Structure 1
Amino acid sequence: MPKTLRYTLLSLREMLLSAGPFAFLTIALLCLTYWWLNPTPPKRVVLATGPAQSAYDEFGKRYAEALARYGITVELKQSEGSSANLELLRNGEADLGFVQGGTADIGYDDEDSIVSLGSLFVEPLWLFYREDSAQRLHKKPVVTKLSELKGWRVNVGTPGSGVPRLFTTLLDVNRLQASELKLSELEQTPATVAFLNGELDAVVFASAPESLMVQMLLQTPGIRLLDFAQSEAYSRRFGYLTPVVMPQGVVDLAANIPPRNVRLVASTTSLLAHSDTHPAILQLFAQTSTTLHGGASWFSKAREYPSLEHSEVPISSEAQRAIKSGPPFLQRYLPFWLANMIERVWLAMGLIIVLALPLSRIVPPLYAFRIRSRVFRWYAELRDIEQHAESGSDSTEDLLEQLDAMESKVEKIVVPLSYTDELYALRNNIHLVRKRLQAPRRAVRADAAAAS
């Protein structure tokens, strides 16, 4: 092997041995940080939506399509509605879910286990009724308030939707007992079929206008939508309700549907998540919500939603950043997985670097010590030979043999070129000790020669 290559390999080996412990410590800390911060989000999450063809179901499909671009599979779990979604979150059967304000029983215990990603949109309470039913029961085709529904066949949706609870509350403030109506709790699709067939007089939905059922009923002849003339009063009585107005002609301008402004009461729907859901997933859903719900709609202006208001549980910090500031700086230029990892571990990495930098200063002295020790450790043996020579405990011949053996070993020592001066200094010192040992023998020989 060429000497130059041999010296280079020697330097590299000693450098690796010197820096190895510190490199291992740094890598171990980075691995521990990665495990603790868990920057990589799961590839699959469960989103609790609602009944088939509902607004929740449609929005769920849009979220799944949006997150698929990031390699995240969103499994849509259909349910009866808000109350059922809240139970799925509590039981850990869903990671996220749509929950309408006022329709689910949210308690103090939920504040520790559930977080909100903001209010997404308003969901009016749609009360559709048949004109012929109103004519038959009240001798007029128009119903103006809830108290006129006494004796009607009304479907209020499944218990899991939360609508029965909300509607019963509204009946109570109108001094109308639920027992005074013929209430049913069918799902949206069979209830709509029964309603159109005349088996029901009215149906109640709490849904966004994107719901296919709502869109269809708004344009069905003989079906009317209750105008909540007291919508402002309802909102003052119940904090989770908001008065909204559906403008004339907003459904169909050409057909002028509706023919006049319709006043409604609405609650805001939030996207709730289990507190254990990965922060990166919360961030992605919050960012996606600004795209899906940030435009103008029948009941909101552009960029009015998503909103951090009207939340019944604490707002996630990821949602606050996403809604207020938009995508983080790094995500605008880097792939999501890389930007997310850097954002989550940069502080810990900084602390590790701050710790590693002072330790790294030990590496050069340690490297020099390891190289020089290959030379210096022979000085101990050389000193022993000198001490034995001074004490006379060993014969000069034995000491010279030990010195020759040591010198043959020293000649095989290889050090980097920058440290050869110390190696040559050792060999000179060995030569010096040899001369001292041989001096008495020369003197004896000189005396013997002079006497002869």
Structure 2
Amino acid sequence: MKRPHLPDDHAKGVLHDVIWTAGPVVLIIAIISALVYWLVDPAPPRTITMSAGQPDSSFYVISKQYAAILARNGITLKVLPSDGSVQNLDRLLDPQQHVDLALVQGGIATKEQASKLVSLGSVSYVPLVVFYRGKGLELLSQLEGKRIAIGREGSGTRTLSLKLLAANGVYPGADTQLLPTDGLQAATQLVSNEADAVLLSGDSATRDLMLRLLRVPGISVMNFKEARAYTRLFPYLDDIELPPGILDLGRLIPPETVHLVSPMLELVARPSLHPALSDLLIEAAQEVHGTASLLQPAGQFPRAVAHEFPISEDASRYYRSGKSFLYRTLPFWLANIADRALVLLLPVAVLILPALRIVPWLYRWRVRSRIYRYYGALIAVERGAMKIVDETERRALLVELDYIEESLNTLKMPLAHVDALYVLREHIGFVRARLSEGRRRAGTTPLHDRAAESPR
């Protein structure tokens, strides 16, 4: 028995239907996914800017170390020189400066300023050390009427010194003279009797400079015996100690424990800092500040201790659980792409679930709509058959019916919907029989009613 000829291109028609039905839905999902990918969780910038300190300061050296570490992950850190913590803070608060982060000493910001920024953690102590001529100085209030070097304009040392002196009732004027010098210049003034006391902090209070001053006869270091009171009155201060011999074990310098008050140096950023960069910066801070030093044991810094600036949510998460699995196992940029892709899962799932219902319905409607178009022409022929008055009209309707059937022979239908095609052929046969008989059968159900009753 000869096999019936089967069309070998029906799959092409199915593919065409699938593309035109599912294509627009897939395109819409892709566009929405792209918007979520780039707007909701944008990629981290490849270049960020940090305000540091003067080119010869420790702030600047630290910032350069950060830059070298971030460069390993393809991030460029631009380091801007500055006058110190005050200017760093001003740059962070000024949107026109385009500065992303900076090193800021505690005690500089007001509550309003601090609320607009976030901290990635405290990275070191910045103790205030008071050297003076003579002996027996126990209170800052005893400096009233003296010549006091409190640091240069714009420095964190000067800002903190003014606050602590004011708390002790010491203000410029009358016999009290506040000198705008720090570091070696201030120490030279003290040694040459051009100043009675100097308040040193940060780069000004280096180990070598403190040793040189304490070796000069007649110069002493003030012991903040009321350091705990300072920490209560100024929450951004900590009570730290210089143990005996910490500066020089051989000569036992200092000869006894010296209490100091110290603000923290914090890594401060704008709230818009990308979470992935926050992790990288804290990781860099661990490498730079995690070693032991004169004032801290190894591993003490960085730490998430909120003083003036709130700890960012990203920093809190990092200190609590460390880097995510993706960032621990993959290179930074590959992990970032994978991490951002996870953000798409929820919105894409929300879009796909309705699409799973809509696309099959659209596909079925598209396939069946071809059949429905034939029914429109067929019903027109049937209605014409009801109004035939002569043989010419009958032949014209038969020609039209032949045309419909010939066109139907070229129609491509998916196998799952071919039943509708055979039902249509039955209805064509019904109309053809009516035309061939040349009369209306009594009680015959009109085609449009039969089409409604036929299974789809």
Do 1:152 and 1:181's aligned partners in 2 also have CA atoms closer than 8 Å? yes
The one of 155, 167, 184 aligned to 2:179? 184
Do 1:286 and 1:318's aligned partners in 2 also have CA atoms closer than 8 Å? no
Cα distance change on mapping 1:240 and 1:189 into 2, 3 Å: same
Residue 398 (1) aligns with residue 396 (2): yes
Do 2:184 and 2:204's aligned partners in 1 also have CA atoms closer than 8 Å? no
Cα distance change on mapping 1:384 and 1:265 into 2, 3 Å: same
- Residue type at the aligned position of 1:438: S
Aligned partners of 1:325 and 1:296: how far apart in 2?
A: 23
Q: Give the TM-score normalised by the residue count of structure 1.
A: 0.81
Cα offsets for 1:195-230 (capped at 9, x unmatched): 7888766643321xxx49714314547356724242
- Pick which of 281-290 and 393-402 moved more: 281-290
- Residue type at the aligned position of 1:120: V
Aligned partners of 2:128 and 2:47: how far apart in 1?
A: 33
- Residue type at the aligned position of 1:160: G
Residues paired across the two proteins, number: 425
1:167 counterpart residue number: 161
For the aligned residues, what is the CA RMSD? 3.4
Cα distance change on mapping 1:12 and 1:250 into 2, 3 Å: farther
- Residue type at the aligned position of 2:178: L
| Secondary structure of the structure 2 residue equivalent to 1:391 | coil
Q: Which residues in structure 2 correspond to 1:174-323 (within 5 Å)?
A: 174-179=168-173, 180-186=175-181, 188=183, 203-207=198-202, 211=203, 214-220=206-212, 222=215, 226-230=221-225, 231-251=227-247, 258=254, 260-323=256-319
1:99 counterpart residue number: 104
Cα offsets for 1:345-379 (capped at 9, x unmatched): 64553133124212322212321222232233212
Aligned partners of 1:9 and 1:216: how far apart in 2?
A: 85
| Secondary structure of the structure 1 residue equivalent to 2:126 | strand
The one of 142, 145, 149 aligned to 1:155? 149
- Pick which of 31-40 and 92-101 moved more: 31-40
| Secondary structure of the structure 1 residue equivalent to 2:127 | strand
1:450 counterpart residue number: none
Cα offsets for 1:48-104 (capped at 9, x unmatched): 1222332322221222122222222111122222212111111132221222112x1
1:448 counterpart residue number: none
TM superposition shift of 1:423: 3.3
- Pick which of 379-388 and 411-420 moved more: 411-420
Do 2:150 and 2:162's aligned partners in 1 also have CA atoms closer than 8 Å? no
| Secondary structure of the structure 2 residue equivalent to 1:308 | coil
Long gaps (5+) in structure 2? 1-5, 440-456
The one of 45, 52, 57 aligned to 1:54? 57
Do 2:121 and 2:302's aligned partners in 1 also have CA atoms closer than 8 Å? yes
- Residue type at the aligned position of 1:361: R
Aligned partners of 2:317 and 2:270: how far apart in 1?
A: 18
Aligned partners of 1:32 and 1:314: how far apart in 2?
A: 31
Aligned partners of 1:200 and 1:268: how far apart in 2?
A: 27
- Residue type at the aligned position of 1:239: P
- Residue type at the aligned position of 1:184: L
Long gaps (5+) in structure 1? 442-452
Do 2:245 and 2:251's aligned partners in 1 also have CA atoms closer than 8 Å? yes
Q: Give the TM-score normalised by the residue count of structure 2.
A: 0.80
Q: Which residues in structure 2 correspond to 1:44-83 (within 5 Å)?
A: 44-83=47-86
- Residue type at the aligned position of 1:96: L
Aligned partners of 1:106 and 1:273: how far apart in 2?
A: 16
Aligned partners of 2:433 and 2:184: how far apart in 1?
A: 111
Cα offsets for 1:305-324 (capped at 9, x unmatched): 33333421322111111122
Aligned partners of 2:396 and 2:201: how far apart in 1?
A: 106
| Secondary structure of the structure 1 residue equivalent to 2:304 | coil
Aligned partners of 1:393 and 1:251: how far apart in 2?
A: 124
Identity in percent: 35
